[in-house]
Amino acid sequence: MPVIEFENVAYSYGGGELLSDISVKLAPGSFHFLTGPSGSGKTTLMKLCYGALLPTAGHVTLFGRDARSLDRDDIAMTRRRIGVVHQDCQFLNHMSVAENIGLPLTVSGRHAETGGDDLTELLAWVGLANRADALPPELSGGERQRAALARAVIMSPDVVLADEPTGNVDWEMSQRLLRLLIELNKMGKTVLIATHDLGLIRATKAHVQARVLRIANRRIQLAGADL
Amino acid sequence: MNMFQFAIAALWTGDRQADRVVPPSGFTAQLTLFAAGTMAFLAVFALAFSLASGRLATIWGQELARTATIRVVAPIDQRAAQTEAALRILETTKGVASARALTDAEQQALLTPWFGAELAIDALPVPRLIEIVEDNEGLDPEGLRLRLAAEVPGAVLDNHSRWRAPLVQAASRLKLLGWISTILITATLAAMVTLAANAALSANAQVIAVLRLVGATDSYIAQAFIRRFTFRALSGAATGTVLGVLAMLLLPSSDDVGGFLTGLGFEGRDWLAPVLIPFLAGAVAFAATGAAAKRTLKELA
């Protein structure tokens, strides 16, 4: 069963249709890139994947359930299984980086049982061990992206969605973030990365079997191996 | 588990971590404290007013209900005989604890303010007054009037109800006014907390968005706000209540005025009322914040 499935999905904002007739299946453990020009609807499609938006036509199925049938609590539960890294990642600015990364555990009431070991390990994994007590506004762009990634995966979610995760960082840092995502995929997570950086996609394809979904003319096209 | 039960449970188990997810807010917190304190202070007086009026109504009702008067209006030669007859009837009347005719000296004392001390009361056809003290059961004025009419045609029973009723009614109205004030104060507190909670929820829209993104349920988010506002209202109202009660204790005591009036204050079980004020304020804040959070969160993605 695909973890996320789009069936003839369309989405329109007040004006006109942004996405139409989109059918995609994300199988468990798959690695997908989502690409397309700016404003083509990449972020909208990502939002449809975690229930922040509902399709105006067609069906989005998350873990086997129609997104329209989910109430607000169901959506909260679904998001515990989907880690999201935003292009412009937001944190709770009054809490330390470590507390922010542990926030998904806190809000799901699992803070006590998992304890601090996982958190310390994860901080080291994303290279933020020495920034644990810093406040989010003190972090650089790259550090924010890594903190957001750590927060997205701390619940060990089934799916990781990353929207332009390398948008604000230099090439070296983007390679590092990508390696983290590839590592997560090798651990069995389904990964979907929205990016318009074709170089990043090429660099990834050397390490993992990634499929590329391209949005053009409001529709999804499966890009070939030509990239 | 619905949001309300969840919030109650979380409120008492006290999830400190959940409390921390909403940034502390200095100034609005002070305003909520101040509003709760002021409302509690006013509530102390409204309640005291209401309870005192209630006591007044009871005292006036009871004291006056315990006595009645019979006027024996008859020609001078028949007056003594009719008074005797009336007293005999009273002896066998249910609800009469004691009855006695006022003496000439007493009647003279009653009339002195109007006629002066030199008046020879014997020379005037002044009606004889009989003072009746009722027992706990009270007497049946209509039955007594019928018996008197049959046997003592000159006797007129006055059980004071005619002028007592408007006094008691006035006191009851005052009591009602006190309760209405208390209700209005409670409603105003609810309105203030709702405004403050709405402001806090809008100010923290980004915090709420982050929490929703990482999988927080609405009730978890609501609880952080509810807890905060409930404790603010509770502590603010506790302070206001203490100050209100202190101010009341500084009022002059009612003993100087006498038993017919009552002091503006709490007596006996009445003291339960001010003790309840902070908890009522907490409950109001709890409900108001819960409703505001539920409304606001529904509108967010």
What tens-digit pLDDT sequence spans chain B (301 residues)? 455 565 555 555 555 666 778 887 777 778 889 999 999 999 998 998 888 888 888 877 776 667 788 888 888 788 888 888 888 888 888 888 888 888 888 888 888 877 777 767 677 778 888 888 888 777 788 888 888 888 888 888 887 766 777 888 888 888 899 899 999 999 999 999 999 988 888 888 889 999 999 999 999 999 889 998 999 999 999 999 999 999 888 877 655 444 445 667 777 788 888 899 999 999 999 999 999 999 889 887 6
Q: Does ipTM surpass 0.85 in this model?
A: yes
Å between B234 CA and nearest CA of chain A: 26
Cross-chain CB nearest to B214 (options A94, A95, A103)? A103
* Nearest residue in chain B measured CA to CA from A100: B21
Contact between chains at A95 and B209 (C-beta distance less than 8 A): no
Question: Quick one: which of B180, B178, B141 has its CA closest to B161?
Answer: B141
pTM score: 0.74
Contact between chains at B210 and A94 (C-beta distance less than 8 A): no
Predicted confidence at residue B106, as pLDDT, reads 83
Does A116 contact chain B (CB < 8 Å)?
A: no
* Average pLDDT over every residue of A16-43: 90
Å between A148 CA and nearest CA of chain B: 10
Contact between chains at A76 and B217 (C-beta distance less than 8 A): yes
CB < 8 Å from B in window 137-196 of A: 151, 155
* Confidence bin at A116 (pLDDT 50/70/90): low
Predicted confidence at residue A39, as pLDDT, reads 84
Contact between chains at B211 and A103 (C-beta distance less than 8 A): yes
CA B210/CA A23 separation, integer angstroms: 29
Please provide the DSSP assignment of chain B as one string.
Answer: --HHHHHHHHHHHT-HHHHHTSPP-HHHHHHHHHHHHHHHHHHHHHHHHHHHHHHHHHHHHHHHHTEEEEEE---HHHHHHHHHHHHHHHHTSTTEEEEEEPPHHHHHHHHHHHH-TT--GGGS-PPEEEEEEE-TT---HHHHHHHHHHH-TTEEEE-SHHHHHHHHHHHHHHHHHHHHHHHHHHHHHHHHHHHHHHHHHHHTHHHHHHHHHTT--HHHHHHHHHHHHHHHHHHHHHHHHHHHHHHHHTSPPGGGT-TTS--SS--GGGGHHHHHHHHHHHHHHHHHHHHHHHHHHHH--
Specify whether the CB–CB gap between B28 and B199 falls below 8 A. Answer: yes
User: What's the CATH architecture for A1-81+158-227?
Assistant: 3-Layer(aba) Sandwich (3.40)
Per-residue DSSP letter, A188 = T
* Nearest residue in chain B measured CA to CA from A53: B301
Residue A132, pLDDT > 60, answer yes
Question: In the structure encoding, which two tokens stand for residue B39, read together?
Answer: 């409302």
Cross-chain CB nearest to A92 (options B210, B219, B301)? B210
Mutate to test the interface with B, among A82, A92, A153, A161 (most CBs of B within 10 A): A92
Å between A108 CA and nearest CA of chain B: 7
Domain boundaries, chain A: 1-81+158-227, 92-156
A90: which chain B residues are within 8 Å (Cβ-Cβ)?
206, 209-210, 213
Question: In the structure encoding, which two tokens stand for residue A104, read together?
Answer: 């998904």
Segment A64-109, tens digit of pLDDT: 999 999 999 999 999 999 999 988 889 999 999 999 999 999 888 8
Chain A, chain B: beta-carbon pairs less than 8 Å apart: 61
Å between B207 CA and nearest CA of chain A: 6
Cross-chain CB nearest to A104 (options B23, B209, B214)? B214
Cross-chain CB nearest to B23 (options A73, A76, A94)? A94
Please provide the DSSP assignment of A138-166 as one string.
Answer: GS-HHHHHHHHHHHHHTT--SEEEEESTT
Question: Quick one: which of B257, B287, B172, B230 has its CA closest to B14?
Answer: B230
Contact between chains at A72 and B207 (C-beta distance less than 8 A): no
Å between A40 CA and nearest CA of chain B: 22
* Nearest residue in chain A measured CA to CA from B24: A94
Contact between chains at A86 and B213 (C-beta distance less than 8 A): yes
A91: which chain B residues are within 8 Å (Cβ-Cβ)?
210
Predicted confidence at residue A226, as pLDDT, reads 45
Predicted confidence at residue A118, as pLDDT, reads 77
| H-helix or E-strand spanning residue A211 | strand A210-216
Predicted confidence at residue B1, as pLDDT, reads 45
In chain B, which residues touch A (CB < 8 A)?
17-18, 20-21, 23-24, 206-207, 209-220, 297-298, 301
B20: which chain A residues are within 8 Å (Cβ-Cβ)?
95, 99
Does A93 contact chain B (CB < 8 Å)?
A: yes
Contact between chains at B218 and A73 (C-beta distance less than 8 A): yes
CA B207/CA B212 separation, integer angstroms: 9
Q: Which of A12-16, A206-210, B41-45, B258-262 has the lowest mean pLDDT?
A: B258-262
Å between A87 CA and nearest CA of chain B: 13
* Average pLDDT over every residue of A114-136: 84
Å between B282 CA and nearest CA of chain A: 25
